[in-house]
Amino acid sequence: MYDFDEGASGAAGPFLNWHARETTDGEISGRTFSLRDADGNREDVTPKFKKGVAFDLSTLRTGWCYSNGSPGVAPEWQWNDSPARFSPQPADVGGDKWKKGFDVRIAIDKETAATWSQAGAGAWTGLVQLMKAVKADDNYDENKAAIVIFKGGEELKYKKGSTVVPTLELKKWADKPECLTAPVEDEADDDEAEGDDEF
């Protein structure tokens, strides 16, 4: 059984991002996933998520993320010792601007691994829902990859504002593709993978 607490680095690219809303430049639609390479180019990879992607949960880190919103300034992370126990929200800098977040390595096809590193209510809630399914699954095996399918976005409303949560369904467990077991490179690979590879 996988032990996960939803709580009261440097990551390796390319990088995945969940877009609850359309990007301000209109390049990426809302309710989609994009892949950003080392040059900042973005590609919509939502169709691959709908077919199924491989989560390497042995790489999952959770923690608190602080960003002052300045373009080009990397956010600050305070990682939990383990995904099984969430640390208290930092109080020294930023106060309530610290948001729950995570990063995890994902194979979006058999040839392309990326890091999903994100903080914010929509992405975090999507991960929490997925991890509840993982925790309840008796077939969990840390040596396998969780094959996960994106089923759409669900509106989450607050007293002020709203966001969209990605609905992620655990389909099965499978051997980790080689791109997840190979040594992690510092820079994104420029080669495009075939889009029809499935797990």
Q: How many CA atoms lie within 13 A of 108 on its CB side?
A: 26
User: Going by C-beta distance under 8 Å and a sequence separation of 6 or more, which residues neighbour residue 134?
Assistant: 2, 4, 57, 140, 146, 170
DSSP reduced 3-state for 61:
strand
Q: Cα separations (Å) of 129 from 35, 70, 91, 160?
A: 22, 30, 27, 22
Closest CA to 188 of 54, 37, 50, 67: 37
| CA–CA separation, 145 and 168 (whole Å) | 14
Give me 132's structure tokens. 């509840």
pLDDT-derived band at 158 (thresholds 50, 70, 90) equals confident
DSSP reduced 3-state for 121:
helix
94-106 pLDDT, tens digit each:
567 899 999 999 9
**Farthest CA pair distance, the chain:** 47
| CA–CA separation, 13 and 176 (whole Å) | 18
Query: Domain spans of the chain?
Result: 15-181
By the 8 A CB rule, do 100 and 62 touch?
A: yes
| CA–CA separation, 112 and 55 (whole Å) | 12
Q: What is the pTM of this model?
A: 0.85
6-63 pLDDT, tens digit each:
664 456 789 999 999 998 888 999 999 999 988 889 999 999 999 999 999 999 999 9
